[in-house]
C-alpha cells in the first residue's frame, strides 16, 4: 500500500483535504463485506462526527465495557488521528467483537453486507438507548440533561412512551406510512413504521426512481388477501400503498439483487441494469418532498452469486471520488459510478453491481 498511498497523495496534491484521512482496511479472511460498509459509514460525515464526539465524551469511562459502539468509535478515532494522510489500518478489535457478538459473522464464509449494515446500526441504537436509560435512572444525572448520547429534551415525569431518539436515528431514520383504504366505506387507515434503510425490488433496465414508484404503487387486497376493516367489522376489499412520511437525513437504499428462485431451490443474483442518479428527488414516494439527495457512497457486490464474490465501495469525499477495495485506496472518476448500474444482458460478464446506495440530504434549490 506504501506506493499506492503515495500515488494517492500525489494524485490529490494540494487538493488533499485538510484533516482528512484515506485509509484502507485489512481483510481478515472474507471480511470485505465489513470493510466496504465501514468505509461508507466513515465518509457519512454526520455519522462520523457524532461517533467521534461520543468517543471523546466516553474514552475516560473506566467502568464501560467493550461493545460494538466502543470498538467502532475507537476504529474511527484511530483513522482520523493518523499522522499520515493515507495508509492501511487493521480493524482487528472491531472484527473480533463482531464475531463474538453475532455468530452469523463468525465463519470465514462470504457474508451479506446489507445484513451486516442492518445488524450494526440496530446494535448501535440498542447500546445508545440502554446508556440513555441508565443515565436517566442514575440519581447524580437527574439534575443534568446531558448523557453519553448527547443532549436529551426534558420529558414530563412518568412519560416514557416515546423511545429515545439517538444520533443514529437522527442520521438514518425515516418514517413510512402504510395506508389502507377500505373500498366499501372508504375509511383510510394509516399505520406508521420507522426505517433505517429502504429495500427495493428491482427490474431489468429500470432506475431508482421507477423502483421507488413501484414501492409506493397502489395494491388491491382482495380474495384471500382481504383487509379487516374496523368500521365495517368485516373483511373487505381494500387498496393499500406505502409512502414516506418523514424523509431521513441520510437515505440508504438497498437493491434486492438476491432473489430466491423456487425452481432452483436457491438464491440467484440479479445483475439487472438499475440506473441510480448522483442527485435524487423522491417525487412519487413522498407527499411533500422538502429534501433532495446527493449520492456519496456506493457499496458494490462483485461476483455472480450470493454465496461467493467480493465487496468494494466507491465514496465521494470533498468532491473527489475514491475507490476502496480492502487495503487498496485509489482516486477514481465520477464516471466510474455508472459502471456499477448493472447489465442490460442477463448473461453479461459484468458482475460489479451497485448493491447499497448512500444519499445525503442537501438543501433544496428553487
Q: Among positive and negative, which fits the CA dihedral 13, 26, 294, 250?
A: negative
Q: Are strands 250-255 and 198-200 parallel, antiparallel or unpaired?
A: parallel
Q: Among positive and negative, which fits the CA dihedral 117, 118, 123, 126?
A: positive
d(CA 320, CA 8): 12
Look up residue 52 and give its three cell numbers. Answer: 467521534
Nearest to 249 by CA among 186, 310, 175, 311: 175
**310 annotated active-site:** yes
Look up residue 308 and give its three cell numbers. Answer: 461467493
Nearest to 336 by CA among 298, 293, 294, 280: 298
**32 annotated active-site:** yes
Q: Which residue has the cell 443514529?
A: 168
- Of the residues 32, 44, 182, 229, only one is catalytic, namely 32
d(CA 338, CA 342): 9
Q: Which residues pair with 261 in a beta bridge?
A: 266
- Of the residues 114, 169, 301, 310, only one is catalytic, namely 310
d(CA 289, CA 291): 6
Give the active site residues. 32, 310
Amino acid at each position: 500500500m506504501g506506493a499506492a498511498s503515495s500515488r494517492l497523495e500525489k494524485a490529490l496534491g494540494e487538493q488533499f483535504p485538510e484533516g482528512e484521512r484515506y485509509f484502507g482496511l485489512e481483510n481478515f479472511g472474507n471480511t470485505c463485506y465489513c470493510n466496504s460498509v465501514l468505509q461508507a459509514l466513515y465518509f457519512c460525515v454526520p455519522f462520523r462526527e457524532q461517533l467521534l464526539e461520543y468517543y471523546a465524551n466516553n474514552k475516560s469511562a473506566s467502568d464501560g465495557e467493550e461493545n460494538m459502539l466502543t470498538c467502532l468509535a475507537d476504529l474511527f478515532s484511530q483513522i482520523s488521528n493518523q499522522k499520515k494522510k493515507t495508509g492501511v489500518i487493521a480493524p482487528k478489535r472491531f472484527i473480533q467483537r463482531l464475531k463474538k457478538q453475532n455468530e452469523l459473522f463468525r465463519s470465514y464464509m462470504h457474508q451479506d453486507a446489507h445484513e451486516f449494515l442492518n445488524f450494526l446500526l440496530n446494535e448501535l441504537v440498542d447500546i445508545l438507548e440502554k446508556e440513555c436509560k441508565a443515565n436517566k435512572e442514575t440519581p447524580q444525572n437527574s439534575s443534568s440533561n446531558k448523557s453519553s448520547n448527547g443532549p436529551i429534551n426534558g420529558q414530563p415525569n412518568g412519560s416514557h412512551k416515546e423511545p429515545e431518539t439517538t444520533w443514529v436515528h437522527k442520521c438514518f431514520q425515516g418514517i413510512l406510512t402504510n395506508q389502507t383504504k377500505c373500498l366499501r366505506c372508504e375509511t383510510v387507515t394509516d399505520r406508521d413504521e420507522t426505517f433505517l434503510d429502504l429495500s427495493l425490488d428491482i427490474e431489468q433496465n429500470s432506475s431508482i426512481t421507477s423502483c421507488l414508484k413501484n414501492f409506493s404503487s397502489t395494491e388491491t387486497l382482495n380474495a384471500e388477501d382481504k383487509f379487516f376493516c374496523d368500521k365495517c367489522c368485516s373483511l373487505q376489499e381494500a387498496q393499500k400503498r406505502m409512502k414516506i412520511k418523514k424523509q431521513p437525513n441520510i437515505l440508504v437504499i438497498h437493491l434486492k439483487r438476491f432473489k430466491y428462485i423456487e425452481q432452483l431451490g436457491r438464491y440467484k443474483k440479479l445483475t439487472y441494469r438499475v440506473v441510480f442518479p448522483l442527485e435524487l428527488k423522491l417525487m412519487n414516494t413522498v407527499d411533500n418532498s422538502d429534501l433532495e439527495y446527493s449520492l456519496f457512497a456506493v457499496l458494490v457486490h462483485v461476483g455472480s452469486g450470493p454465496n461467493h464474490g467480493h465487496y468494494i465501495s466507491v465514496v465521494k469525499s470533498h468532491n473527489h471520488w475514491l475507490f476502496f477495495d480492502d487495503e487498496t485506496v485509489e482516486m477514481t472518476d465520477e464516471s466510474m459510478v455508472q459502471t456499477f448500474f448493472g447489465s442490460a444482458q442477463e448473461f453479461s460478464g459484468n458482475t460489479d453491481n451497485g448493491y447499497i446506495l448512500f444519499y445525503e440530504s442537501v438543501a433544496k434549490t428553487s
